[in-house]
């Protein structure tokens, strides 16, 4: 839930920067609008402590049953 609220705040800040650019007829706030979007990418890609609560992904079939793999042919 914290990530969703952070994303909403960053998008609101980005829209506010674009609105300021429209009102002031300046391009500087448009360039500043990229900063919250880059911060959002950084925050969403960080590992979250709650990710440890998810189960581990299942192993591929080959890794789960190595005895069923055909023998490797030497090259």
CA 2 from chain center: how many Å? Answer: 14
Q: In this structure, is residue 33 part of a structural domain?
A: yes
Nearest to 3 by CA among 44, 39, 37: 44
Q: In this structure, is residue 59 part of a structural domain?
A: no
Lowest mean pLDDT among 1-10, 12-21, 44-53: 44-53
Residues 22-66: pLDDT tens digits? 999 999 999 999 999 999 888 888 877 766 776 776 666 555 555
Angle between helices 2-24 and 34-45 (to 10 degrees): 170
Q: How many domains does the chain have?
A: 1
CB of 14 closer than 8 Å to CB of 36? yes
Residue 70 DSSP code: P
Q: In this structure, is residue 64 part of a structural domain?
A: no
State the average pLDDT over residues 1-27: 91
What pLDDT band is residue 70 in, cutting at 50, 70 and 90?
low
Q: In this structure, is residue 57 part of a structural domain?
A: no
Q: Quick one: pLDDT at residue 30?
A: 92
Measure the CA–CA gap between 38 and 41, rounded to whole angstroms: 5
Q: Quick one: pLDDT at residue 38?
A: 92
Boundaries of domain holding 17: 1-48
Q: In this structure, is residue 29 part of a structural domain?
A: yes
């Amino acid at each position: 839930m914290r990530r969703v609220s952070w994303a909403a705040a960053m998008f609101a800040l980005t829209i506010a920067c674009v609105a300021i650019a429209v009102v002031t007829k300046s391009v500087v706030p448009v360039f500043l609008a990229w900063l919250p979007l880059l911060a959002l990418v950084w925050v969403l890609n960080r590992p979250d402590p709650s990710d440890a609560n998810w189960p581990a992904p299942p192993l591929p079939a080959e890794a789960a049953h190595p005895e069923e793999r055909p023998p490797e042919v030497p090259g």
